[in-house]
Structure 1
Amino acid sequence: MEEHFFQCPYCWEEISMLLDTSVSHQTYVEDCEVCCNPMELSVSYDNAVLSQFSVASIEQ
Structure 2
Amino acid sequence: MHLIDKSTECPHCGHHIHITLDDSNGDQDYYEDCPACCNSIHISFHLDERDNHVDVILEADD
The separation in 2 between residues aligned to 1:50 and 1:33, in whole angstroms, is: 27
Deviation sequence 1:14-47 (CA, Å, 0-9, x none): 1001100212200111101111100100111123
> Bigger radius of gyration, 1 or 2?
2
TM-score (norm 1): 0.85
- For residues 16-55 of structure 1, the aligned pairs below 5 Å read 16-47=18-49, 49-55=52-58
SS at the partner of 1:16? strand
Q: What runs of 5+ residues in structure 1 fail to find an aligned partner?
A: none
Q: What runs of 5+ residues in structure 2 fail to find an aligned partner?
A: none
Q: CA RMSD in A?
A: 1.6
Contact 1:21 1:49 in 2 (8 A): no
Contact 1:28 1:42 in 2 (8 A): yes
Runs of 4 or more above 6 Å deviation: none
The number of equivalent residue pairs is 59
